[in-house]
Amino acid sequence: MIRYVLGRLISLVISLIVASIVIFAVIEVIPGDPAAFMLGVNARPDTIAALRAEMGLDQPVILRYFNWVTGMLQGDFGRSWTYKTPVADLISDRIWVSLPLAIYALFLSTIIAFPAGIYAASRRGGAGDITIMGATQLGVAIPNFWFAMILVLLFAINLRWFSAGGFPGWDNPLQAIKSLTLPAIALALPQAAILARVMRSSLLDMLGEDFIRTARAKGLSRRQALWRHAVRNALIPVLTIIGLQFSFLLAGGIIIEQIFFLPGLGRLIFQSISARDLIVVESVVMLLVFVVILVNFAVDIAYAAVDPRLRTKT
C-alpha cells in the first residue's frame, strides 16, 4: 500500500513539473503584447516600455519562469497586471463560487445517476430501463450551455423563480445556493446522463460475473446479489468517471459561468485571456491542473480502498 501511494505521489510531482513548463511555454507564445494591449491604440512607445518594465516583462524568460515557480511554492501567485491585486486574492474570491458550484453539480449528478443507473440495470430490457436509457441519450446529446439558456428562459424570464444570473455572495447562504441552482442543474444533467449509463453498463458487466452467479446459487435473490456484491464492484469505473467529471466541472464551468455571469474561476480565466493578464492565466490554469492531478491521485487511492488487489500489486 505504501509503495503504491509513493508511486502515485512521485507521478503527481512529475506531472506538476511538466504541466508548469507546458503552461508557461504555451502562454509565452500566445501572440499579443500585454502592455500594448492594456494601453490601447493611442499609447506612445515609451509608455508601453514603462509599463513592460513595471510588469517585469523586460526580464529574461528563464528568470521569469523561475520566479513564477518559486513564488508559487511559497504561496505567492504574483500580482495581476490588470486588476493590480494579488492573484491569490482573486483566486480565493473566485474559488468560493466555482468550488461550491462543482460540488453542487457533482452532488446533483450523483444522486440522479446512481438510482437511475441501478434501477435501469436491475430492470434490464424493461420499460423503466428503456425510458431511462432514452432520457440519458438525450442528456448526453444536449450541450449544457443550450440547456442553461432554456433553464434561464423558463425559470428566470417566464416563471421568475430565480434571477437570470449573478452571485450575491455567501453573506446570505440561502440566496447564494439559490443563485447556484440553475447553473448546477445545467452542469449536472449532462454529467448525470453519462454517469447513469456508466453505472448501468458497469453493473450489467458485474451481473454476468461468476461471483454473482455463485451468490445467486447460494440462495441470494437477484436484488440481494445486486446490492451486496455487484454495486460495490461496479463502483470502480464509476469512480473514475466521477473524478474526471469533478475536474471537468471545476474547470469546465467557463461557459456556464459566462451564461449566468457568475464571478467564478472560469470567468476569471476567460477575462484574463482576453485582457492578456498572463500571470493570472498561468496561475489559475496551474491551480486547476494541480486540483485535477490531486483528484486523480485521490481516485487512485480510492481504487485501492475499493479494490484490495491494487493494494498488494506493485
Partner 1 sequence: MYHIKTIAAATAIALCAPAALAQDSITVAIQLEPPNLDPTGGAAQAIDSVLYSNIFEGLTRFDADGAIIQGLAQSWDISDGGLVYTFNLAAGVTFHDGTTMDAEDVKFSLDRARAEDSINAQKGLFAGITDVTVVDPLTVQVTLDQPNGSFLFNMAWGDAVIVAPESIENIASNPIGTGPFTFTDWVQGDRLEMTRNESYWGAAPALASATFRFISDPTAAFAAVMAEDVDVFVGFPAPENLPQFEADPRFQVLVGNTEGETILSINNKMPPFDNILVRAAVASAIDRQAIIDGAMFGYGTPIGTHFAPHNPDYVDLLGNSPYDPEVARALLSVAGYPDGFTTTLKLPPPSYARRGGEIIASQLREIGIETEVSNLEWAQWIEEVFTNKDFGLSIVSHTEPMDIGIYANPDYYFQYDNPVFQALMEELNATTDPAGRSALLVRAQTIISEDYVNGYLFELAVATVAKAGINGLWVNQPTAAVDLSGVSWSN
User: Cβ 282 to partner 1, closest distance in Å?
Assistant: 15
Q: Which is nearer to partner 1, 121 or 284 (CB)?
A: 284
Nearer to partner 1, 282 or 300 (CB): 282
Pick between residue 13 and residue 149 the one whose CB is nearest to partner 1. Answer: 149
HEC profile of the chain: CHHHHHHHHHHHHHHHHHHHHHHHHHHHHCCCCHHHHHHCCCCCHHHHHHHHHHHCCCCCHHHHHHHHHHHHHCCCCCECCCCCCEHHHHHHHHHHHHHHHHHHHHHHHHHHHHHHHHHHHHCCCCHHHHHHHHHHHHHHHCCHHHHHHHHHHHHHHHCCCCCCCCCCCCCCHHHHHHHHHHHHHHHHHHHHHHHHHHHHHHHHHHHCCHHHHHHHHCCCCHHHHHHHHHHHHHHHHHHHHHHHHHHHHHHCCHHHHHHCCCCCHHHHHHHHHHCCCHHHHHHHHHHHHHHHHHHHHHHHHHHHHHCHHHHHCC
Which residue lies nearer to partner 1 by CB, 78 or 263? Answer: 263
Cβ proximity to partner 1, 207 vs 265, nearer residue: 265
Nearest distance, CB of residue 145 and partner 1, angstroms: 9
Q: State the nearest-atom distance from the C-beta of 65 to partner 1, in Å.
A: 21
> Minimum distance between the CB of residue 63 and partner 1, rounded to whole angstroms?
22
Residues binding partner 1 (CB under 8 A)? 30-34, 36-44, 46-47, 50-51, 54, 82-85, 90, 93-94, 149, 152-153, 156-157, 160, 163-167, 169, 258-264, 267-268, 271, 273-277
Query: Shortest approach of partner 1 to residue 219 CB, angstroms?
Result: 51
Q: How far is the CB of 75 from partner 1 (least distance, A)?
A: 20
